[in-house]
Amino acid sequence: MMPFLKMTAAGALALMAVTCGGLEQALAQAPAQPKTIDAIKARGTLNCGVGTGTPGFSNPDDKGVWTGFDVDYCRAVAAVLFNDPSKVTYKPTSAKDRFPALQSGEVDLLSRTTTWTLSRDVGFVFAGVMYYDGQGFIVKKSLGLKSVKELKGATICVQTGTTTELNLADYFRTNNLDYKSVVFEKPDESVSAYESGRCDAYTTDQSGLFSQRLKMKTPDDNVILPEIISKEPLGPLVRQGDFQWFTLTKWVYYALINAEELGITQKNVDEMLNSANPEIKRVLGKDGDFGKSLGVDNDWIVRIVKAVGNYGEIYERTLGEGSALKIPRGHNRLWSKGGLQYAPPIR
């Protein structure tokens, strides 16, 4: 009896010591900010937070391969870090758990149609506006509506945990329109409720409406109203506290824009390497140490363009005419072509 008691006692004490010690270690490490780039390289894969299935932005295809506008950004970052755009682990996140996922370090960056707002700039930092969006409404064609203002008294399906819910309330109050909302957690359920007739309209970012319309049983029976009731600048974001990582994510986006401006495409990038144009030489790493100063190799933009193409190519392939969505480029044209997409020069 005694030896058994003794052993149990010793075991219990040892367990306590280990628990205490282990926790001390685990907790002590948490506040420190490790270098994200080193951590990703050591892990061998980029953890990228994407959406749970938004055609055009992030959606697994019939073979389970993630594709889309947001996914291509992840691929571009992986191309820079590993020279291999496939070294990405995609983590689908819902609107609700995307921020905790980034905050806790489960993902290295979020690239999932997230609106840049002031409150989200606290704790996080946005790499840029990859896509200028705005909140719109979709209704049944048979209602014959021409404007959002005609939705007085309507029931509207909307998702929780987004800026959408507040924009909707603000807009209808400002215009003295009463409405009823039916609030779901996931877009699929909202759309299903809208299609069954529970709601007269469904509201989300206009890009989302285009992609959700594709999933509907009869896409052509639904019409997207022309009004946009909010500014929704969407872009990738990272945690605060690691400037090296933030700067890299920011410049991957700028590199995509610069490449389009200079006409560097997936097809002609190899020819362009021989170009005499000093700007192109700098962008493609033939001149200067711009990649090194970011902590990556100098041919980083060559890798990006080879992997995913320039900004315009990504847009056309995933959202524009080359895709099923066919969203007009609108505000997302280059600044030189009347749009808002603009990037600082690489020099």
Partner 1 sequence: MRLSSTREQHGSLAAAAPNAFYRPEVRQALYQVVLVICLGWLFWSIYRNASTNLASQNVSAGFAFLGRTAGFDISQTLIAYPASATFGDAILVGLVNTLVVSLIGIVLATLFGFLMGIARLSSNWLVAKIAAVYVEISRNVPLLLQLFVWYFAVLASLPAARNAVALPGNGYLSIRGLYLPKPVFESDFGFVLAALATGIAGTVAFARYANMRQLQTGHRLPVLWVGLGLIGVLPALAFLIAGRPMTFDDPKLQGFNFAGGMALQPEMVAMVLGLVFYTGGYIAEIVRAGIAGVGRGQKEAARALGLPTGTMMRLVVIPQAMRIIIPPLTSQFLNLTKNSSLGIAIAYPDLTHVLANTTLNQTNQPLEAIAILMGIYLTLSLATSLFMNWFNTRMALVER
**Using rule CB under 8 A, residue 152 touches partner 1:** yes
How does strand 155-159 pair with strand 180-184?
parallel
**Rounded least distance, CB 310 to partner 1, Å:** 34
**Residue of 158, 184, 161 lying closest to 171 (CA atoms):** 158
Q: Which helix (H) or strand (E) covers residue 13, if one does?
A: helix 2-29
Beta-bridge mates of residue 238? 125
Burial class (CB in 10 A: 0-12, 13-18, 19+), 107: buried
**Rounded least distance, CB 231 to partner 1, Å:** 17
Rounded Cα distance, 198 and 10, in Å: 64
Query: Between residue 60 and residue 89, which ones bind partner 1 under the rule CB under 8 A?
Result: none
Extract the tokens encoding 83: 């020279």
What letter represents residue 6's amino acid? K
**Using rule CB under 8 A, residue 52 touches partner 1:** no
Q: Which is nearer to partner 1, 20 or 324 (CB)?
A: 20
**Using rule CB under 8 A, residue 144 touches partner 1:** no
**Using rule CB under 8 A, residue 154 touches partner 1:** yes
**Using rule CB under 8 A, residue 146 touches partner 1:** no
Options 45, 160, 265, 275; binder of partner 1; rule CB under 8 A: 160
The number of residues in the chain equals 347
**Rounded least distance, CB 121 to partner 1, Å:** 10
Number of neighbours of residue 89 by Cβ within 10 angstroms: 14
Beta-bridge mates of residue 140? 222
Binding region for partner 1 (CB under 8 A) out of 159-167, 291-299, 306-314, 321-329: 159-167
**Rounded least distance, CB 30 to partner 1, Å:** 6
- Distance from the Cα of residue 269 to its chain's centroid: 26
What letter represents residue 40's amino acid? I
**Using rule CB under 8 A, residue 13 touches partner 1:** yes
**Using rule CB under 8 A, residue 23 touches partner 1:** yes
Site string for partner 1, 166-195 (x = CB under 8 A): x-xxx--x-----xxxxxxx---x--xx--
Binding region for partner 1 (CB under 8 A) out of 15-23, 53-61, 225-233, 318-326: 15-23
Contacts of 80 (CB under 8 A, 6+ apart): 248, 252, 296, 297, 300, 303, 304
**Using rule CB under 8 A, residue 123 touches partner 1:** yes
Integer Rg of the chain from CA? 24
How does strand 88-92 pair with strand 46-50?
parallel
Residues that bind partner 1 (CB under 8 A): 9, 12-13, 16, 19-20, 23-24, 27, 30-31, 95-96, 99-100, 103, 119-120, 122-123, 151-155, 157, 160-162, 165-166, 168-170, 173, 179-185, 189, 192-193, 196-198, 200, 240-241
